[in-house]
Amino acid sequence: MKRHSHFLFIAALTGFCLHALAGPGEPGHSHGEGETPFQGANAPKRFADGSVYLPKIAQRQLGIRTALVQVGEFLRTIELSGKVIHNPNYGGKVQAMVAGRITPPPKGFPVPGQLVKQGDLLAYVTPEIGPANTRSLAESRLKRLQALSDTVPRKVLEEAQAAVANEELRAPVSGMVATTGVVSGQVVEARQLVFEIVNPNKFMVEAVAYDPAVVDSIGSANLSVGDQRIPLKLQGAAKRLREQALPITFLADDEQLSQLAIGQVVRVYVQTNQLVKGVRIPASAVVRDGSNQPVVWVKEEPQLYRSVTVTPAPLDGSHSLVQGLQENDRVVSKSASLLNQIR
């Protein structure tokens, strides 16, 4: 107990000394009427005017980063909805030609993600001939014809063999198995899709535009995957609307699309040939305030931030174009959503 009381006395004495020695601008020192709103604060705080005081230690903990805005003229950008598709020259579908029961080859069925080569045996389809028990009759007929092969026309013998032969399903191209939905013994219908093979290094992107005039003004295009930008090359646009939209096909310049999946929805950013004035900021700097209005946080002082309402327009997927900011402004480019939650 004596030792505990001794520690309490030292702590109280230390606090009193620090309070007495506190200089101007430090916590514990009163400035009277001339004191600024954030002097003496030791924790994040939002003031009545909407600005936020954030100490340096809190900035490091939240991972706050800022970026200098860029004022100038930029290419007008249009954001299109798209999806990843496979290249028809580097993919294929495996379908059953006849109805029957499917069985695996000696090495088993291929699984999704497995690499196959052109001509690899993927499965067998044993055709079902007519009503029940008629297959056994066809097999018996084949045995009789084979016993009389010296007197039976070759054409008749080949027709009997084809009637009971298993259909071999082979890979039409080399690539990766994308889908498979069969098990051993399953009955499949004629023309039913059994396997789909794609080349992940040759994916394409199909975007849709509701204004056909967009095609004539496309200068460049790209899509964003996380923090990475993937440039796209325009292949062409259809001449027929599909669900009141015009499909536009893009091809990637490299193999970066391999990390995506067929059917995955993406946003395609098309840069037109028109110039527009504005302020270029990171797209991550735009957040929503309590009224669901898009805002950016501008760094006023080393520990003071204020929000500015903006109307963002897409630029290249990783940047946005806004109005209302000055040339030397610095906006919060990382962890802006955390700063926006401070109350």
Could you give the CA distance from residue 3 to residue 235 in angstroms, rounded to a whole number? 81
Distances, alpha carbon 336 to alpha carbons 42, 152, 311, in Å: 20, 85, 16
Place of tokens 């067929």: 262
Mean pLDDT of 228-250: 90
Shortest CA distance to 43 belongs to which of 57, 63, 23, 60? 57
Average pLDDT, the chain: 81
Is the pLDDT at 338 greater than 70? The verdict is yes
Could you give the CA distance from residue 289 to residue 300 in angstroms, rounded to a whole number? 18
Place of tokens 């259909």: 167
Using one digit for the tens of pLDDT, what is the confidence trace for 289-317? 988 999 999 999 999 999 999 999 988 87
**For the chain, which domains are there?**
66-85+201-340 (2.40.30.170), 92-198 (2.40.50.100)
Could you give the CA distance from residue 75 to residue 276 in angstroms, rounded to a whole number? 6
Could you give the CA distance from residue 255 to residue 106 in angstroms, rounded to a whole number? 34
Burial grade of 292 (CB within 10 A; 0-12, 13-18, 19 or more): exposed
Cα 156 to the center of its chain, rounded Å? 57
Strand (E) or helix (H) holding 131: none
Highest mean pLDDT among 124-128, 156-160, 307-311 belongs to 307-311
Confidence class of residue 28 from pLDDT cuts 50, 70 and 90?
very low
